[in-house]
Amino acid sequence: MAVNSNKTFLVLVICLLLSESILGTVQLFATVPENAGAGETVLSVLSAIGETRESDGRNFRGEEVLCKIVDGNKNGRFRATAGCVLQVARPLDYSVDPSYNLTVNVTVNVTVTVQVQVQDVEGYPPVYNDTCEMPIRRGESRSGDLIFDVRWQAEAVVRPGGVMFFDQYEFFDRSTAYGHSSTATNDCTAWLVWDVGHAVQIRQFMDVWDSNLRCFKCFHTQHDTATFQVGIINRHRGKSACTFLDHLGVSRTQSNVHFRVAYLLKLVSARGHYFTCSLPGDVSVTTVVGAMMAEVSHPFANVHVQPVGCPPKKYGLLCDQNCTCENGARCHGLNGACKCQPGWQGVVCDIPHNTVAITATSSDSERIYITGSLVLNCKAFHLTAAKMIWTFPNKTEKWLQGTVEDRVRIESIQPEHNGTYTCTAVTEDGRVVRASFELQAVECPPGKTGELCAEPCDCPRGASCHRWAGCVCPVGWTGPRCRTPCPGGTYGEDCSSECRCQNQATCAPTDGRCNCSAGWFGPDCSVPCPAGLYGWRCRYDCGCKNNATCHHVDGSCTCVPSWSGQLCDVKTDENTFPFLLQIVIPLTLTLLISIALVVTLFTRNRANNQIGVNHEEEMALLELQNIEEDMAESLQPGWLNKWEKKVKDLRMGELIGLGAFAQIRKGHLCTDGAKVAVAVKSVRGEDRQFYRAFCREVASLIVVHQEGGGHANIVRLFGVITKSTPKCILLEYAAKGDLSVILKQQPGQDGGFPLADLLRYAVHISCALKELRRLRIAHGDVAARNVLVSGDDVAKLADFGLAHDVYTANAYVSADRRGVDELLPLKWMSLESLETRKFTCDSDTWSFGVLLWEIAAFGEEPNYEQEIQLSCPKLVGLLRQGVRLQKPPGCTDRLYDVMASCWREEPSARPEPIELEQKLTECRHELDPLLVVELETLV
């Protein structure tokens, strides 16, 4: 039996040797680029074996052959198909594994060794650049599918209309746009192309193309490397003279696309970028503005690019690519590059990495503060640690045996805890792997200050706290408690930036924007009004004739020879001087005698009149000082007399508003040879309360006009009549009436103007409140009934003092104050105004929130808990309990959030008008994504 067994074994060995000598082992070679996708062919094994065996007269055609990779396939990067084809199974990475030696068993008794060389591909894998790491978007983007919000802010001279502003977000969708990005360098570059398809936009771009505004560049205010370039491509005429278009390889547009716009953007961080665009000053375009044709010239533009990121698991400029990162890796929003978690590596973070890592978890999720708690977790990934050693900043150690994970907890971080924490893992074969974490906790948690972060830091205006310095003021404010606005000529953080405004322009303390004086415009107010225009924001047409020169500030005319008169419309005869001289000489003696008598009488009458004028002004000023001392101090000498008009120049018309002590009539005022439609508001001066309201309204409007020349969203003042009874205010006539009437005429969301259109009036009033805040004037009664709408559909804030009587309605309720018969708009008043009867700009913000409610409710009267009439004490009690107006039917959550922010109990926590303007614009886009913000008369 033993002999037979030995013989059998010998035969088997001989057969194996013969088989090996006949077929042997085949050595094959292959190359594959590292960016090869899953399923891409590396090598056909049967074809390669067939070629090597042709000399033996053998091949495997017609035979059923199976292949299996048995060795060398590290991390499963390759697979063999049923037809013996080697394919890429998982993403390759040259930096991790540049080559593979695969052993493949073939069922025809052939062992194949395949040496696969991975080729390094330039620009692959994509680089995860932390410089421009995008956030993850959780809500809607204002610019559609784009990974950025692109906001254009521009000003230009529009005829007719003067200097106008527009502020809108550019909207992109995947059907009309495509793009690419690169993050390989220190900056992050993205280019985007979108097709112009809307008929109105095509017309506008045709006008822009014909004006030679085809390529321009915008520069970052602080970083030279950050740029934003724009180029236009015309289907019929090709590209503009933009060199970056050649670099991008952007060709002519498709046959069905008229214009294509290309953007090249270079970012230096993931924060918002504010660019100032360089536009030629001689550009003039005739295009549609609102609903009419207008000439637009002298443009200035800024663009704000704010990264908003893509939704989870998406990336790309238009968020149209799927992220492939695995094992908890973070996907870069621009190019899809993966930022691996500890213990993983490779293109998609699916290759194990033998390492040790420390992760820190703070009680304050984003930052590590003194007195906060911290957990340091050390973990060994994909290796077996025989022992683990912690080394602390004080040089003490903690030893652990046979563990791969351990954590250290610091309950209350103090300065002595700062330093280097090291975790060392030693494997069974003696290999040492370590990781370190540097703790530098030097800041106090929010609301705390001092060396031990134990002192409270109650800073107003949303200011943050510094451990040593106390309050860190927000932009535009300074002082130990951040209560002082930036002094004149400065703005920004720490008031460290110098204003660039020229020609007596005022500078906003927050962002340095200039409010130009009359006759000037432009970002720094250095550009005079174009020929033919003058005044504030160049809104007035010059009347000068016969080639006269018009002064850009006040519109005065400088006549050419042979013409005279205020408008240079009187012909001067050069030969009449001798004739006039002959007339003057005989009359000289007669005139000298007459002058002596006239001067005596004139001087006596003027003195009497001046006493009357001064008395009237002093009385008004005294009344005003009783209610608003700050406003009284800001009035210039002669403030009332300057605006005085003559009764004979006024023609009264129909009655349009009536109250017990005041009324409004439509009238016409003859001024400078022209007849202007006005609203004449009159009040009986005998009643002390209403005379005081009269003084306040006049003073408020005069301050608005004397400080900035008026405001497009505040009713215009034409003059006053105070020397007769009744006393009158002459105001701009609003052809469409007040907003409350307009709202009540709307049949809701099923017809009439949609809510998005009505919200444009709210945007207008937010601009008015912004101007009043700048002038430190509180309106005191912001409501739909006090908003007038002009014939060109611009909302204007009105009624700074008399609305309580002129509009007789249930809106005004007795304040129940002993000895004072005072009517107040309780349901529009802020909590602090109800309790103190004092009105501020912050209380105006509360009232503005109620105005938004009126708009969303299409003119319904506000009510708390379904009660129409509420006493002042009961309303205060409800508000103190947190009760607020409920969301109207059909109102979006975003719009109601804006309202609710206006009703915050703490006045300083309410949003400022500029923030309200931005949020309302966002609400309009949410209601109507295709909404195009027109060039409106906004500030």
Binding residues for ATP: 681
CB burial string 278-300: b at 16+ within 10 A, e below: ebeeebbbebebeeeebebbbbb
Measured over the CA atoms of residue 517, residue 523, residue 527 and residue 530, the dihedral's sign is negative
User: How far, in Å, CA of 380 to CA of 434, rounded?
Assistant: 9
DSSP state of 315: E
User: How far, in Å, CA of 574 to CA of 644, rounded?
Assistant: 39
**Residue 309 CB neighbour total at 10 angstroms:** 20
DSSP state of 417: G
User: How far, in Å, CA of 550 to CA of 197, rounded?
Assistant: 42
Q: For tokens 């020229």, what's the residue?
A: 502
First-last CA distance in the chain: 110
Measured over the CA atoms of residue 487, residue 492, residue 496 and residue 498, the dihedral's sign is negative
Cα–chain center distance at 322:
28
CB burial string 819-858: b at 16+ within 10 A, e below: eeeeebbbbbbbbbbbeeeebbbbbbbbbbbbbbbbbbbb
Which residue ranges make up the annotated binding site?
681
The torsion angle over the Cα atoms of residues 822, 829, 708 and 513, rounded to 10 degrees, is 160
Task: With CA atoms as reference, report the closest residue to 379 among 351, 408, 404.
Answer: 404
Residue 563, amino acid: W
Stated as kind and residue range, the H or E segment containing 608 is helix 577-627
DSSP state of 74: G
User: How far, in Å, CA of 907 to CA of 460, rounded?
Assistant: 10
Q: β-strands 25-33, 110-119: how paired?
A: parallel
Phi-psi region of 213 (alpha: psi -120 to 50; beta: other; left: phi over 0): beta
Residues whose CB is less than 8 angstroms from the CB of residue 571 and which lie 6 or more positions away in sequence, other chains included = 562, 563
DSSP state of 687: S
HEC per residue, 632-661 = HHHCCCCCCHHHECCHHHEEEEEEEEECCC
User: How far, in Å, CA of 473 to CA of 484, rounded?
Assistant: 10
Residues whose CB is less than 8 angstroms from the CB of residue 275 and which lie 6 or more positions away in sequence, other chains included = 218, 219, 220, 221, 226, 227, 228, 302, 303, 304, 305
User: How far, in Å, CA of 567 to CA of 555, rounded?
Assistant: 10
Task: With CA atoms as reference, report the closest residue to 715 among 809, 786, 630, 629.
Answer: 786
Task: With CA atoms as reference, report the closest residue to 316 among 172, 217, 186.
Answer: 172
DSSP E strand stretches across 340-460: 344-345, 351-352, 355-362, 374-381, 385-391, 397-401, 405-410, 419-427, 432-439, 448-449, 455-456
- CA angle, residues 243, 247, 249, in degrees to nearest 5: 115
The torsion angle over the Cα atoms of residues 884, 828, 630 and 817, rounded to 10 degrees, is -100
Residue 507 DSSP SS3: strand
Task: With CA atoms as reference, report the closest residue to 784 among 800, 768, 795.
Answer: 795
User: How far, in Å, CA of 337 to CA of 330, rounded?
Assistant: 8
